[in-house]
Amino acid sequence: MKLGRFIIDTHVHAQRHAAGPEFKKLGIAVPEKMKYRDLSNIMPHLTAYDNSKRLLYDMECYDVDMCVLLPAFGMSNDINMALVEKYPDKFVAVCAPKKTAERALAGEIEWTIEAACQELDELLSTGKFVGLGEGMPTTPEGRTSGKTLGHSERMDQLRKVMDVARKHKVPVRVHTGSPMGYPIAYTYWPENWHPYWMNDLAVEYPDVPIIYDHGGMQGGNQENLVNECIQVAANHDNVYLETGLYWTELYYKALVNPNVGPEKLLWGTDWGASIPTHTHIGAHPQTYAMQVRKDGIVTHQVDVMGWSLKQVSRLDISQDDMNLILGGNALRIYKIPFPLSRMFKPVE
């Protein structure tokens, strides 16, 4: 039985990086010797290609009706938009300042938040994108810049992004968590490690929806960032949690809070990010998403949709609440047209 009336995966990467040739240049040809740190260093320079055939297969397999496509780490806005135009009933896309990052990496310009926001403004002005993401824009040299952004400096950058989102009336996405393989440096996304920072932006921009990518859980089994994300979401009407990498009990942790509840949760799996499900027999949770560095890079298409929907299927909640989590909230927040009215529980 299908789990919901209309199912939207709100965090999908329909592109894959052609990493093999670059690894060969480094003298690394055996997959087992390819490390996540090496991949993260070359990923911004890699060519991304359309991986939608595998995505469409999984969507059909698991009855997923639609996906929100996200660019990240060198992925292309253009490829995502081509997929939206080819499959308008299956895909919508958010955008990132890709060209600004590319020019900065090539040494043509110095990356600035103003240049990134100008590009975002131009992309959103086309009317083709439904929001910003993955995460908030940041310098592509962040991992190796040798500079640590202070709280005030980064918050002022984020306010400029929020201004663009307010102008175009679209949601923003704030990245939280770590897959445990790709090293997410503090200098790259400091707010990634401080979900509480969003309290100020939620107060200053009550009209801009803020979505926590991963809801604090991108990998591992530590719940500290999840707890912070839930607390911020409970304090503000415009803050939402993406929950596709939650195991069942984490859903309950959010659902039990009356200021969060099902109306604040959006299912999104990070499909395409090559984060495997780690099995730890006898532990709790027994399975969770995590890149295990000693195992090397995953080379197959990880089945995260199947694992995630199994976690959701264990929830003993009303079907109307389930429908909000799996699609109704995404339809509302991303303003996606739906052919029928009164199919989802109303949310003020």
Residue 33 has pLDDT above 70, yes or no: no
Q: pLDDT at position 328, please?
A: 98
Instruction: Find tokens 């195991």 and name the residue.
Output: 247
Separation of alpha carbons 225 and 194, rounded Å = 8
CATH number of 96-333: 3.20.20
How many CB atoms sit inside 10 A of residue 163's CB?
Answer: 14
- pLDDT category at 144 given cuts 50, 70, 90 is low
Separation of alpha carbons 175 and 243, rounded Å = 12
What would the mean pLDDT of 252-280 be, rounded to a whole number? 96
Centroid of chain to Cα 252: 21
Separation of alpha carbons 130 and 171, rounded Å = 8
Structure tokens at 169: 């009336």
Name the strand (E) or helix (H) holding 240.
strand 239-242
Structure tokens at 134: 């993955």
Structure tokens at 86: 């080819």
Amino acid sitting at position 14: A
Q: pLDDT at position 105, please?
A: 85
Separation of alpha carbons 302 and 322, rounded Å = 25
Per-domain residue ranges of the chain: 96-333
Q: What is the pLDDT of residues 203-242, one digit of tens each?
A: 999 999 999 999 999 999 999 999 999 999 999 999 999 9
- pLDDT category at 186 given cuts 50, 70, 90 is confident
What would the mean pLDDT of 324-335 be, rounded to a whole number? 98
- pLDDT category at 338 given cuts 50, 70, 90 is very high
How many CB atoms sit inside 10 A of residue 29's CB?
Answer: 10
Report the predicted TM-score, pTM, of the whole model to 2 decimal places: 0.95
Q: What mean pLDDT, rounded, does the chain reach?
A: 92
Residue 38 has pLDDT above 80, yes or no: no
| pLDDT more than 90, % of the chain | 79
The residues, ordered by sequence, that sit 6+ positions from 56 with a Cβ below 8 Å of its Cβ are 87, 90
